[in-house]
Structure 1
């Protein structure tokens, strides 16, 4: 099974720029590259910070571009997003609690997509309501493999400023994942960095956004914005492995000799 992960679009009003770049033009290039090379993907998952401002106009611009995307997709929210404006354009939301979380059952296991948005704050939250929802989804999965998608990483990446913006209830989250016992990977965004490793025995990965990036800076109280290449992840999942390729989709340097 092939899945594409795209994260941190940070869309602004069409025609405007962010960090000296055009987020909408970057998204268009990303979607074009996915269509050209991965139209056979089972799913494209956008792991949050769809918008920089949370304005409805940014979600309408996103909706227009998603109409051109060949594979099916799922949208998640990040700390820059606005649930109300998002719903005005895309609808959705759990009918019981209003959060934008969801599941997708596949032949390789269950994909769980979390809503970690806490309006007005950069860190992620999984309050009791969301943790109960997750527990129920894990119980439904029984002993099947689970693959978790979260905008905020629940694990430290050892960049202090970004680590203060992770998921507050990381320990409670881990307790649920450990109880299930078959969580094969956690995919996150938010950090704008290519990162891979493991968290308490669970493999994890993070990737760059489609617009600006975070510098590799381990200072305790700062982070710099860079123009490192944007990327999306090409993820292959089967019974034996989970493999994630980070693709710099604007790179046109390849040449056959």
Structure 2
């Protein structure tokens, strides 16, 4: 199975710049590249911070753009989002019995779980409260032994980034306890505005840059808190044997300085 992972759009209600960059223009370029090169993907998953301030008008812009995308798109919320405004605009999107924007479905013999980790202002950290944990436990039981893949905004662990580790998921041990004993293969998350991958408690994980601005890996390496580094989306291939993730820096793909006819021989 092949799908696309995108995160941290930070869309504005109308045209304009966020930290010197146009988030909607960059998102448009991202979707155009996906449509041009990955129309065979099963779906697109966007893991939160859909908007920068949770404005209803920004969600409306997103809804109108996604209506023209010829791929299903699954959305969850991040700390910059507003749950009520999202639900008022995306009225057909699934929620759980408590109104949290989280849902599950099976695809190609796998269970995919999309979680709502929005805590709410003034905190930028994530929260997975008892009601949400109960829902997750039920979904893991319902998976009935199938491989499970989780999508969430906040990582439930530190990523060795001093700023982001202050605003990770608030209750990581409680979250980890729920996953214990299940065949959870991978966690896809956002929030960090960087390409990150590794293994946590035997579970693979990955994140990727925002489609707009990034966070420098080393504080002070640029003068500002945020940085202008290449945005990217991820192309994910799942099989029984492995998880393959390619990050594609869609705005920074240019021909090499070489003749177009060079390096066309049989390499194998």
TM-score with structure 1 length normalisation? Answer: 0.95
After TM superposition, the structure 1 = structure 2 runs for residues 6-25 of structure 1, keeping only pairs within 5 Å, are 6-25=6-25
2:180 is paired with a residue whose SS is helix
Structure 2 spans left out of the alignment, 5+ residues: 263-268
**2:118 alignment counterpart:** 117
1:244 equivalenced with 2:252 (yes/no): no
1:172 and 1:113 mapped to 2: Cα distance?
Answer: 18
| 1:175 match | 177
SS for the counterpart of 1:17 is: coil
Q: Structure 2 matches for 1:180-191, cutoff 5 A?
A: 180=182, 182-191=183-192
Shift of 1:94: 2.4
Once the two structures are TM-superposed, the CA of residue 108 in structure 1 deviates from its matched residue by: 3.8
Structure 2 distance, partners of 1:78, 1:94, is 15
* Cross-structure match for 1:141: 143
**Structure-to-structure mapping, 1:64-143, within 5 angstroms:** 64-91=64-91, 92-94=93-95, 96-120=97-121, 121-143=123-145
State the distance in 2 between where 1:157 and 1:218 align: 14
Structure 1 residues 128 and 190: alpha-carbon distance in aligned structure 2, compared to 1, 3 A threshold: same
CA distance in 2, matches of 1:183, 1:96: 23
Give the Cα–Cα distance (whole angstroms) in 2 for the partners of residues 200 and 44 of structure 1.
27
Residue 28 of structure 2 corresponds to 28
Which whole-Å deviations, capped at 9, do the CAs of 1:176-227 have from their partners, x for residues lacking one?
Answer: 11122x10001110000001111111111110010000101268xx982111
Greater radius of gyration (CA): 2
1:79 counterpart SS class: coil
Aligned-residue Cα RMSD (Å) equals 1.5
Task: Describe the superposition over 1:19-47 as per-residue Cα deviations: whole angstroms up to 9, x where unpaired.
Answer: 10000101111111111011111110000
The alignment of Structure 1 onto Structure 2 pairs a total of residues equal to 254
CA distance in 1, matches of 2:20, 2:213: 9
Q: Secondary structure at the match of 2:20?
A: coil
Determine which of 167, 179, 187 is the counterpart of 1:165. 167
- Preserved contact between residue 7 and residue 210 of structure 2 (Cα < 8 Å): yes
Unaligned runs of 5+ in 1: none
Q: Matched residues in 1 for 2:255 and 2:140: separation?
A: 42
Which residue in the other structure is 2:193 paired with? 192
Counterpart for residue 37 of structure 1? 37
Quote the offset at 1:93 in angstroms: 4.7
Question: CA–CA distance in 1 between the matches of 2:219 and 2:227?
Answer: 15
